[in-house]
Chains A and B, each alone.
Chain A
């Protein structure tokens, strides 16, 4: 059954949305949170397990120091406070994927508290951007669960399945959960802010190099809490929690949908049930999951198998020195270095090409050339083939080389595209491809002049037009010259020559 929804803009006339975002991040540590097992993604099921992460009787956890360092670095990058003493707790509940039937997590004593992340969003009027500050309540460490595979049913869900298999490779992978304070004042931009926040967080995690940030593999997952309150009131409404949304676009859509759905319920005089909801990517709706109630008693208590986490101030200080330049600041610096317009820079960011362009420029390309290739031809092809630009095997050094060939006058644009074609096909570096394919602009002025003379002679009408001042008509002659020289002519030079002869 599909729920009723109210038009989004209409909903915002009556209600003011309040959001809370919980982002789970899988860390890229080499070993798991509490044991020495490998964390490599996609291994043979149950090949990366030991008595500890299988929760075998008697096994004990030991905290992964590198995961703690990742959490501290993230906390510092989020302008948060680092607890000088924090603790793990047990969250007790039954779950077939969870070997101990409790999750070891930080409950009321997280390692990071009180931070913020500034995100850039369009202004309300839409004619520019402004900074919106999302306050962070806390960031805490915990372990991931295993994964079930339900076999024999039509849906892949447990209902109707003949049997279920469990893979514990993921059980015990370190997670950080970042929880915002209630986000108020977002108004109609709530969905955009949610998206921008997760995007900014993702960029930060990437810059810190503490996660693979592969949302499609579930290494970053967002739970979105949304509630509505009548415009002008202060009291928070009842919230729903949409679980495990794992793409930026889905986060925006899911928040937007929940606002429309909840508004419909409230408009009809109903009340919102506090519950978890599932996001459906295909239909763009959420459906009710488990109701949250007092029965959700996790019986938290301090994990007696682990000593408290008490990072030394010297360690925190040392980690502070390892923080990268904040992504937003870095982008501003690069934009100014490269001389890109705001629009050009946004294209580059959307194409995820900032790092590639930086490396390409570093390899000797012009910023304009680097941008042209990465956000143009390569991005277009990747998009069309459903790949990422990295999949093509085209390196920043190759693009810089290609740019050099164009700038140096050896190739024109269409020839350069052919060379790129060859690079993607695995024929080697751009120069080698150009050599092998015999691609080179005709540098011999005599041959060009001869071709120009021939074309003028063959097209007296066009030549007359140009003589008469219709300079645009020269284009047709240039085309003929290119044809004459099998495309290997410098179009600018040909135009120069034609105009010189006719005017």
Chain B
């Protein structure tokens, strides 16, 4: 019997189109897999079996009736819990939104529904997407399917882990400083952050509005492209969304050709201070691209070194304002202060926030409030915005010389759960390679490029393209993926340890 959980989305779609299976069968297979392994992985905060099967049935009926269906119709998907789903609890990984059921769908979710994709459930994440390890979820951490004692990356660890653990063929993540790409790197999956504005942010619970971007979490570059086409495009509900057609990403992924392409290796993020095994895999990947006809150029982006500092001023500043709406007045958690008979609105708000927000969220709200306050604005937020401009200029200058830029996605493979919890700075350093793309709004992708020699854990290869030229990510990513799979004799996830039965063994 075919195991549909081990297939790519593209192959599932082909089997559905050919009538070899039904969406109900495929969806049920994934629900079964979730039941089997999610107790260990904890990728999901909520599973919506009923809703997913209802969509699956509807798609099967439509297909039987001969209706024209989209390319991914009937292929199930998981959605990061930061996107509003009508009728389905949405918490952004926070206690303050526990049990909140949005009365509306995020545009991305509406597009998935319109495409006939069954939504399996909502995936775990760091609270309000703040974190690089999914340990800051108010509902407990997600475990890396490669090693359950390790982090799955963050903030979208749930989405990447679900894809890596074969619980979902596809998932939606969001990337504010690397939260799609960094989890992809440490779970051996593909993650794309489209150009800022390429996918609507409407209904995405904002962390930092000027940085947030939803995108695909998948097991292949082609799957990412197919999903990118479903969720991308202009949205009148998001004034920052780009009013232009979705770049030809599927065509580029199928082309998978780098002949004559110029690839820039960013000097400042090419391996200095990175785990040796990660650095080694990066160099090998660059060589594979050269072997396939690409030309490699070393590029300097001096401002990137200031990116992390700028990011950790801009993000908390915007977050402090975005999270101000969580005051216990209208929805979500409301906590009255202890021992106060008739508390004031301010007292209720303070007690609610104290109980509802986790430490990392509080830390960043305080930081952001400080950075925005009169007298400090110019020194902090203002300076950070200037750095942002410099980074955009570095990118622009680099793209005059090369077609894409490449770096290792994350400095290390997955670290152990709890290892860096008490050291926020060490945690923040994880995003050093991914953050510049968010600050400049350019697209980026991480693809798995091997298992590090020292620990046998996945490493990621990051490709960055100019804004709106997302197709280049897919073209280069697919070429490297093909070269690597030739080397490995199949997808890297085939080398992941079997999870079934793990729970009993532990």
Contacts and interface: CB of A to CB of B under 8 A. Distances in A.
Interface of A: 51, 54-63, 90, 92, 94, 96, 99-102, 166, 294, 297, 299-301, 304-307
Interface in B473-504: none
A56 B331 contact: yes
30 contacts: A51-B104, A57-B84, A57-B90, A57-B92, A57-B100, A57-B205, A58-B83, A58-B84, A58-B203, A59-B104, A59-B202, A60-B202, A63-B239, A92-B321, A94-B324, A94-B327, A94-B346, A94-B349, A96-B345, A101-B325, A166-B329, A299-B320, A301-B321, A301-B372, A304-B208, A304-B210, A305-B206, A305-B209, A306-B239, A306-B240
A57 B321 contact: no
B206 A58 contact: yes
Interface in B193-233: 201-206, 208-210
Interface string B256-290: 00000000000000000000000000000000000
A299 B104 contact: no
A450 to B, nearest CB: 82
Contacts of B206: 57-58, 305
B381 interface: yes
B5 interface: no
Interface string B364-377: 00000100111001
Contact of B374 (A51, A59, A101, A297): A297
B506 interface: no
A122 to B, nearest CB: 43
Interface residues of B, number: 43
A120 B80 CA distance: 63
Given A51-B104, A301-B381, A305-B209, A61 B239 contact: yes
Contact of B238 (A51, A55, A60): A60
A61 B237 CA distance: 7
Contacts of B373: 297, 299
A301 B377 contact: yes
Interface of B: 83-84, 90, 92, 97, 100, 102-104, 106, 201-206, 208-210, 236-240, 317-318, 320-321, 324-325, 327, 329-331, 345-346, 349, 369, 372-374, 377, 381
Nearest to A164: B345
B327 A101 contact: yes
The majority secondary structure among interface residues of chain B is loop
B103 A301 contact: no
Contacts of B377: 299-301
A54 B330 contact: yes
Given A304-B208, A307-B240, 5 more contacts: A59-B202, A92-B324, A92-B372, A299-B377, A306-B240
Nearest to A95: B345
A55 B237 CA distance: 14
Nearest to A298: B374
A59 B374 CA distance: 28
Nearest to A168: B330
A301 B317 contact: yes
A402 B373 CA distance: 67
A59 B203 contact: yes
Contacts of B330: 54, 99
Closest 5 CB pairs of A and B: A101-B324, A304-B209, A304-B210, A299-B372, A58-B203
A299 B345 contact: no
A294 B349 CA distance: 22
Given A62-B237, A299-B373, A56 B324 contact: no
Contacts of B349: 94
Contacts of A90: 321
A54 B103 CA distance: 12
A334 B357 CA distance: 65
B321 A58 contact: no
A301 B316 CA distance: 13
Contacts of A61: 239
B240 A305 contact: yes
A60 B318 CA distance: 14
A58 B205 contact: yes
Nearest to B82: A58
A148 to B, nearest CB: 10
A304 B388 CA distance: 14
Contacts of B102: 51, 56-58
Residue of A57, A60, A301 contacting most chain B CB atoms (<10 Å): A57
Contacts of B237: 60, 62
A94 B349 CA distance: 10
A344 to B, nearest CB: 52
Contacts of A63: 239
A437 B256 CA distance: 94
B218 to A, nearest CB: 23
A317 to B, nearest CB: 24
Contacts of B84: 56-58
Given A57-B97, A62-B239, A100 B325 contact: yes
Nearest to B238: A60
Contacts of A56: 84, 102-104, 331
Contact of A60 (B90, B100, B201): B201
B324 A60 contact: no
A191 B285 CA distance: 77
Nearest to B346: A94
Contacts of B239: 60-63, 305-307
A62 B381 CA distance: 24
A172 to B, nearest CB: 14
Given A94-B349, A305-B239, A57 B372 contact: no
